[in-house]
Amino acid sequence: MYLNKIGDVPVVAHRDLPDDAEVKGVVVKREPTGRWYASLQLETPDDPPEKPDELTETVGIDVGILNYATDTDGTAVGSLDLSDERERLERAQRDLSRKEHGSNNWEDQRKTVARRHADLKRKRRDFLHKLSNYYARNYDLVAVEDLDAKGLIELPGNSRNRAGAAWGTFLRMLKYKCEREGAHFVAVDPRGTTKECAACGVATEKPLWVREHSCPACGFSADRDWNAAYNILVRGLEQVGTGCPESTPAETALPTGTTSVPAQRVVETGSQGKS
């Protein structure tokens, strides 16, 4: 890569550039780890595909801590386990605190801490990219909650897990990828999605530890997160003007539970397989 006032610089390409892409600019920056990165700004002639008028594949997604995402197809994706990465980071930070500030040993350890931060960040973003790719490429409409991710982090209790979940990053990725793939992305009002019965609409208070929805009005029972995902899908379809799903919750054959998919499977295979 040729840089003005510097000349030719050898680079390791992350991936091949599209044949029809035009490079409009480059951003060169140095990471805290000491490594240099060049991000290319590309322009392609292709416009994103038009969004379909007829929605054949639709999905509602409820995000959480216990299961990162539960969708209306009956799949629950487990949260990514980053405990080993966090432990290595904390150990490196303790070692850094024992070094003399500004010394060569301190600088070496500072770079080690930066690498541990980078490892954790890369693994989380890899998981989010693959999961958002799956939904954007396989559905005509993706409905999610319009979450105030920053406000949720500031709530007392369990803030570390909420911050680590990176729901805001996931929703932003999902939005631009749906635009790229020509799918509808709909963010709906999250209020009441967990309380309301997907079958009759009656609201029932449930503490967080209750993982099953059981409606006292109509008797409908379902996994708590699946019930919320179905309500999210209904609101999403109403928002785009197509009404409710063709099948009712009782006709989906999924009222009692979901199929669990570990986060590691998403990371290893590159996408979450549909059950």
In angstroms, the CA 187 to CA 171 distance is: 9
Query: According to CATH, what is the number of the domain 51-81+126-269?
Result: 3.30.420
**Tens digits of residue pLDDT in 185-237:** 999 988 888 888 888 888 888 877 888 888 888 888 888 889 899 999 999 99
- Residue from 85, 181, 223, 225 carrying the catalytic annotation: 225
What amino acid is encoded at 227 in this protein? Answer: N
Exposure on the CB side of residue 158, measured as CA atoms within 13 A: 8
Q: Which tokens go with 233?
A: 């899908």
C-alpha closest to that of 76 among 205, 229, 181: 229
Total Cβ atoms within 10 A of residue 272: 20
Cβ atoms 245, 59 nearer than 8 A = no
Answer yes or no: 148 catalytic.
no
Length of the chain (residues): 275
pLDDT at 254: 44
pLDDT at 260: 67
Return the residue matching tokens 């982090």: 153
Total Cβ atoms within 10 A of residue 264: 12
DSSP state of 46: P
As a whole number, mean pLDDT of residues 103-118 equals: 93
Answer yes or no: 119 catalytic.
no
Split at pLDDT 50, 70, 90, the class of 261 is confident
pLDDT at 155: 46
Which sequence spans correspond to the domains of the chain? 1-46, 51-81+126-269
pLDDT at 245 over 60: yes
Cβ atoms 79, 267 nearer than 8 A = no
The percentage of residues in the chain with a pLDDT greater than 70, rounded to a whole number, is 84
Cβ atoms 32, 40 nearer than 8 A = no
Cβ atoms 135, 142 nearer than 8 A = yes
In angstroms, the CA 52 to CA 176 distance is: 16
- Residue from 62, 73, 85, 140 carrying the catalytic annotation: 62
Query: Could you give the C-alpha distances from 77 to 92, 170, 203, 258, in angstroms and in order?
Result: 30, 13, 26, 10
φ, ψ for residue 102 (rounded to 5)?
A: 90, -10
In angstroms, the CA 48 to CA 203 distance is: 40
Answer yes or no: 47 catalytic.
no
Query: What is the pTM for the complete model shown?
Result: 0.79
Q: Which residues, in sequence order, are bridge partners of residue 187? A: 144
- Residue from 85, 140, 145, 181 carrying the catalytic annotation: 145
In angstroms, the CA 144 to CA 126 distance is: 20
pLDDT at 23: 87
